[in-house]
Amino acid sequence: MKALMFGWEFPPHILGGLGTASYGLTRGMSLQPDMDITFVIPKPWGDEDKSFLHLIGASNVPVVWKNVDWHYVNDRIGSLMHPDEYFHLRNGIKYDFTRIWTNELGCINFSGRYPDNLLEEISNYEAVASVIAHSRDFDVIHAHDWLTYPAGRFAKQISGKPMVIHVHATDYDRSRGQVNPDVYRIEKEGMDAADHIITVSNLTRNTVIEKYHQHPDKVTTVHNAVEPLEFVDELKKSERQDKLVTFLGRITMQKGPEYFVEVASRVLQHTDGVRFVMAGSGDMMDKMIRLVAQRGIADRFHFTGFLKGRAVYEMLAESDVYMMPSVSEPFGISPLEAMQCGTPSIISKQSGCAEILDHAIKTDYWDIEAMADYIHAIVKYPAMHEALRQNGLDEVNAITWEIAGQKVRKIYDMVCGR
């Protein structure tokens, strides 16, 4: 089975959970002996793990014919793509994309991020998809999240192959209901064109059915998982007296950071020896700094900024409690990662991972009193902390990407008529 996947992030260069999930799923699927995955991202950096898939950077795919020789291509992008592949892709140029600015290789520059001209990059990604669809052999198209749906649709139109889209989040989650009409249109058109839709939780599945008017038979939930941590035994807590409670993620309204601050304020009124950490970055960072100051807890509250790679797990392992008070979380991998590190988690009932976790504390995101009470109990009663730590560790170690990959493969077989 040959799958052509379109993504937007891939580790180690990630800005959120999308890249983590894309990596985990593809790695899990690669354990199937006949699975052949080509994964496309806007911009490769050269240090991605390509041991289990074929990675194509859209910024190295020519969309306009340029008369260049092998050595010139090798000098320019040889560390990211073999020149022979460049020329093979160049033969797949079937449309006139000269309206798009390209470099000396006929390639489009992509930021590899979420720039102000994001809709333009999404449109340009379609041009790349057309070249790849004309150049490569594949059985099924798999588009991850709304940014790649137009590229997937174009590849389907060209190839006639079935398309599966993977809904990692909807704009209803990101905007608390203040939906961007352009984003909604792209999401809706992608869902309408898909042969099948994968959602990361039943919470998201219900949103797709109710808000995007998709037939329930067309939508299947495949919960996310976590990658095994090879270095988990190396993660240690520092010798200290204070307990640490951590929020780790994008500091945006979807994640409910203000509830974390309010919980911290409530806990510190009654509980000694506790510090709070907000790790991440986002558009609400300055607002949260001001709110911490207004609550008079700045001496017990710390902002680390954006963390990536091993630093994420070191922070989680250092913590005594992990808290995710998301207002609307399609899944939420970070609590599973915290539990891998032996850290008890408190999560909102409005998160997809709450559907599969039995040994995490679950509250409504707005229930500040309940979250504060649970934090007090976990940091003050060692037996409760130990029970959550051990039971959570056992539970999360059984949630694997290989199982998720097998479920996705069944969907591939169904849409391909196998």
Residues 152, 130 within the same domain: yes
Residues 268, 281 within the same domain: yes
20 vs 13: CA distance, rounded Å = 10
Residues 243, 151 within the same domain: no
Residues 16, 63 within the same domain: yes
Average pLDDT over residues 242-259: 95
- Residue 230: predicted pLDDT: 84
Residue 145 belongs to what domain range? 2-225+401-415
Confidence of residue 229 (pLDDT cuts 50, 70, 90): confident
Residues 287, 371 within the same domain: yes
Residues 33, 87 within the same domain: yes
Contacts of 144 (CB under 8 A, 6+ apart): 5, 6, 7, 8, 18, 21, 22, 165, 166, 168
User: Please, what is the average pLDDT of the chain?
Assistant: 95
User: Which tokens in the block code for residue 150?
Assistant: 């137009």
Question: Tens digits of per-residue pLDDT, 62-71?
Answer: 999 999 999 9
Residues 247, 362 within the same domain: yes
CB-count exposure of residue 98 (10 Å: 0-12, 13-18, 19+): exposed
For 110, the 3-state DSSP assignment is: coil
Residues 207, 285 within the same domain: no
Residues 244, 196 within the same domain: no
Cβ atoms of 318 and 300 closer than 8 Å: no
- Whether the full predicted model's pTM is greater than 0.75, yes or no, is yes
Instruction: Enumerate the H helices of 39-159 as residue ranges.
Output: 70-77, 83-90, 118-135, 149-159
Average pLDDT over residues 347-364: 96
Say how many domains are in the chain.
Answer: 2
